[in-house]
Chain A
Amino acid sequence: MTEDRPRPSRAARLYRRLLRLYPAEFRRAYARELSLVFEDCWRDAASLRQRLGFGLRAMTGVLTEAPKAQKEELDVLRHDIRHAFRYMRKEAATTIAIVALLALGMGSATLIFSFANGLFLRPLPYPDADRLVAVDEYSPTDPHEFGDMSAPNYADVRAGTHLLADIGLYTAGTVTLRGDAPAERVRAGQVTDGVFRVLGVAPVLGHTFTPLEDVAGAPRVAIIGEDLWRSRYGGDPNILGRTLDTGNAVYRIVGVMPASFTFPDRSDVWFPRRLDLANETRTDYNSEVIGRLAPGATVKTATDEVGALLTAIHHAHPDADNGWHARVRPLRDVLTADYRAVVTMLLIAVGLLLFIACTNVSNLLLAKASGRVREMAVRRALGATRSRLVRQLVVESLVLAMAGGSLGVLLAYVGVPALLGLVPVDLPAWMNFAVDGRVLIFAGAVSLVTSLVFGVAPSLGASSGDLTPVLRDGDRAGSHGGGHRLWRNGLVIAEVAISVLLLIGAGLMLRSFVAIRTQVLGYDPAQVLSLVVDYPEKRYPSGAPARALLRELSSRLSSLPGVTSVAFGTGIPLQDGWSRIFTIEGRPVPLEKMPFVNHVVVSPGYFRTLGIPLVRGRDFSDADYQVPHVIVVAQAFAAKYWPGENPIGKRVRFGPPAANGVWHEIVGVVGDTRHGHITGEENPTVYLPYGAYNGEVVPNAVIIKTTADPAALARDARERITAFDSTLAVTAVRSLGEVIDRATWRDRLVAWLVGGFALMALGLAAAGLYGVLAYTVSLQTREIGIRMALGASAGAMRQLLMRRGLALTGIGLGIGLAVAFALVRLLASFLYRVSPTDVLTFTIVPAILLAVGLVASAWPARQATRVDPLVALRHD
């Protein structure tokens, strides 16, 4: 371009605008030339009349020619698609193989993407959900301590914040509904009025809580969910004003929430969380807080503000200063924190698998492409341009990819519910993994990209190059090209390397899962049934009446056939996370340094029922349940605080120093158990006899040891309890084996998925290796025949081919191992008691790969040397 060229005239600019009527491709090719010619003609027109005549001609020219070009474009596309289908019909076997490979790769990718979509992309079911935040306090020194807030701190933050438009406090729990209908345990949320405002969801009937209903002493009210309204109250239109009876108290129903609203998690009932600030402890981190960012506020500025508020609170209440900080995080990040890393890893795994599938497709197409070089050469000789041929091949790849992609979406559509069926726990209700528009767009985009990856390289190969030798020599000239062979070998090496990566990952995951499942739990889960009994505290108040109930239930359950022992505890192992801070007598520590213990309240026979060994001292005796203040501690607890000393007779107390709790004397030491969770660091455990703990908590988890299958006992146990008193609700009836399954489902699912992907990758790599060798053999049949006719032995030929196959495997293996070795550290956070460089995994995987490589090369090698030299020499 020159600067002195005059600015285009108004007519030229209009003309240029008119050119937009042309299809994009034509415009790219000719728009500039057209404008240039227009400007030349316009300038050179001698008279106004000539100029007008030319202008009119040019404009009508565009108006008549552009639609023709558009139609041509469509015709070409239609023709290409028709041609693609014709070709696919002709090559049915190849087409099926390609579409199946793509469906496998894209199905896996779409499946995992559906999960990523449900977790990270699909909006939470609240208006403007991206402005929702969770507010919590956390220990800057101990990454395990975070997540909750105390009610007094919440009240002060609520009073001081400007950057949170609204804020609410809640706890999730369960409640048993009694009264007219049978006792029914449902999930319940205790929420302040702010929670509904923050979430912005309106009730279908009545109203949500008002600030007046949140204060202590206000009338008892409740809100129910639409589902419960229909199931328990028959959808009564006059539900407002009716009552809800928990056996402990009666609540007036003031609202019905839509079925889609189940916050915090699958809740059917909501009660006001009353703030009784005079009686709440500032160090009792027992509630969760959500808020909505004010306009203009960001997570960062809100964190700064809430942080400053907490610092001020700690200044005003030094006895509650535990050194914790406050933070504001997007609600979605908090809800999905546990899934982010694992889903990212799975996405990478399916990405690699998809790449292998594409590689195989590419190899298949390359093999076909060399056969098609002749077809392409003929068409070029007949005048087809190179771009026209490439386009034809690209359309073919696209049609194949779309077919594979559609099947892939179908696979995901079927696979999502199937995989969810393997999840033994209730996932949060907001998680929706249905195939939606976003998933379809993803699948479409992946189809497009894969078709470019696997389709374009062969297209360029098939349509380029010197045509003469191809026309003269036929197929072999095109396929012997060094470029093609190099590309094909490269692809196989990549496939082997990637399957090594996936297999190493899968091997480590599997080893980790086995480590989780075979670790010493500290108790014997075999033939143990667990369940939770919920009893109305009004009828069985804490103390003698509740203890009498436990004794009664215990004797009724003990008389069931096969039952050898029954005990109660505050939690079933792996489902209990009640930790408390404590002080050892004579070793005072400031509040912020106080450690946590698992705090388990049990009935007599607890250790015997679970098979937890007594190491030192004595078990609880019946007398301990009358005369409180003795405890039994786990070995790790004793070893940590009294190393090399006898802990019996030492005393500890629970709660913050200001609470001035009673001292408890250690009377026994038992073996360590996995109590709170199945992996990760765990606080040591202390056991208190029910009766020693003078709070309201009653051990309502029942464990039953039997001599038979615990599942067979489930119904009888439930009946024994409800027959005694129909206001007792029995839930969570599971064998301890099931409890462990539920605690490990994620590790199991991930191990299975990664293992499945790795096996597919291995199969594909083997097929790829076999394919390339078999193809090489088919191309060299003549050469092999000549060599054998000249006296080369079949064994030598076989060795030659085997060497080539093993060389490809070896190089791929080497690269894969090197990359795996560099990357495995990233997997460390997923692994439990397995080193990322686990020797066993790094030994077995190469052995498997070599064995597969041997088999995949041996077969074509055998085929080749069975060739009759005479037939081979005639082979073209």
Chain B
Amino acid sequence: MRSPALSRDRLHILIAVADRERHGYAILQDVRDRTDGQVLLSPSTLYSAIKRLLDEGLIEELDERPDPDHDDERRRYYRITKAGRHAVAEEARRLQQLLADARATGLLSKRA
């Protein structure tokens, strides 16, 4: 079964919660750091995406708990699901294919 294409924001969020579970602020930081500040999500964009990802079962919510590194406010943690990994892999393949097509037509240098 093919999943629908993932938007850039959603893909970034999935990647952020792929290696370990993170809460909302941690996701924003991770995306910012990974993209050198190129992708800055607003809290609203983040949670709209989280809600959709939850609805589609691509991520799951864990129990609320405080972040020991931050303060002792309770936060919700999210983690990628099996379906989420599957979707990311598929999206990556799709991007790879896109990249290959672009190279094949000479639009993109083969080394870039």
Contacts and interface: CB of A to CB of B under 8 A. Distances in A.
Given A29-B51, A37-B28, A57-B40, A65 B45 contact: yes
Interface stretch (B10-18, B66-74, B88-96, B98-106): B66-74
B97 interface: no
A37 B47 CA distance: 10
B54 A385 contact: yes
A342 interface: no
Contact of B73 (A34, A36, A68, A69): A36
Interface in A22-55: 26, 29-30, 33-34, 36-38, 40-41, 54
Contacts of B72: 2
Contacts of B55: 383, 385, 388
B42 interface: yes
A34 B56 contact: no
B42 A61 contact: yes
Interface string A87-128: 000000000000000000000000000000000000000000
A145 B48 CA distance: 73
Given A41-B25, A41-B28, A33 B75 contact: yes
Contacts of A40: 25, 70
Given A41-B25, A383-B56, A385-B54, A34 B47 contact: yes
A389 to B, nearest CB: 12
A36 B24 contact: yes
Contacts of B51: 26, 29-30, 69
Nearest to A29: B51
Interface string A4-27: 010000000000000000000010
Interface string B51-95: 100111100000000000011110110000001000000000000
B7 interface: no
Contacts, number: 67
A66 interface: yes
Nearest to B76: A33
A559 interface: no
Contacts of B56: 383
B109 interface: no
Nearest to A65: B44
Contact of A41 (B43, B50, B54, B70): B43
Contacts of A58: 42-44
Contacts of A37: 24-25, 28, 43, 46-47
Nearest to B57: A383
Interface in B28-43: 28, 40, 42-43
A416 interface: no
Contacts of B70: 40
A61 B43 contact: yes
A43 to B, nearest CB: 10
- Interface size bucket, A side? 20 to 34
Interface string A55-96: 001101110111011000000000000000000000000000
B97 to A, nearest CB: 25
Nearest to A380: B57
Contacts of A1: 73
A383 B23 CA distance: 22
A744 to B, nearest CB: 65
Residue from the set A36, A37, A62 with the largest chain B CB neighbour count within 10 Å: A37
Given A61-B42, A61-B43, A36 B54 contact: no
A385 B57 CA distance: 8
Contacts of A385: 54-55, 57
Given A36-B75, A61-B44, A61-B45, A383 B25 contact: no
A68 B48 contact: yes
A388 B55 CA distance: 9
Nearest to A68: B48
Given A5-B71, A383-B56, A388-B55, A33 B45 contact: no
Nearest to B83: A383
B42 to A, nearest CB: 3
A695 B55 CA distance: 90
B48 A65 contact: yes
A411 B50 CA distance: 48
A61 B49 CA distance: 12
Interface string A122-139: 000000000000000000
Contacts of B48: 65, 68-69
Contacts of B47: 30, 33-34, 37, 65
Contacts of A65: 42, 44-45, 47-48
A1 B70 CA distance: 14
Contacts of A29: 51
Interface string A333-357: 0000000000000000000000000
A29 B61 CA distance: 12
Nearest to B37: A50
A64 B76 CA distance: 24
A272 to B, nearest CB: 75
B7 to A, nearest CB: 13
22 contacts: A5-B71, A29-B51, A30-B47, A33-B24, A33-B75, A34-B24, A34-B44, A36-B73, A37-B25, A40-B70, A54-B40, A57-B40, A58-B42, A58-B44, A60-B42, A61-B43, A64-B44, A65-B48, A383-B55, A383-B56, A383-B83, A388-B55
Interface of A: 1-2, 5, 26, 29-30, 33-34, 36-38, 40-41, 54, 57-58, 60-62, 64-66, 68-69, 383, 385, 388
Given A30-B51, A58-B43, A385-B55, 10 more contacts: A30-B50, A33-B75, A37-B24, A58-B42, A61-B42, A61-B45, A65-B45, A66-B44, A383-B55, A388-B55
Interface of B: 23-25, 28, 40, 42-48, 50-51, 54-57, 70-73, 75-76, 83
Top 10 closest A-B pairs, CB basis? A61-B42, A61-B44, A383-B57, A65-B44, A40-B25, A37-B43, A37-B24, A57-B42, A30-B47, A65-B48
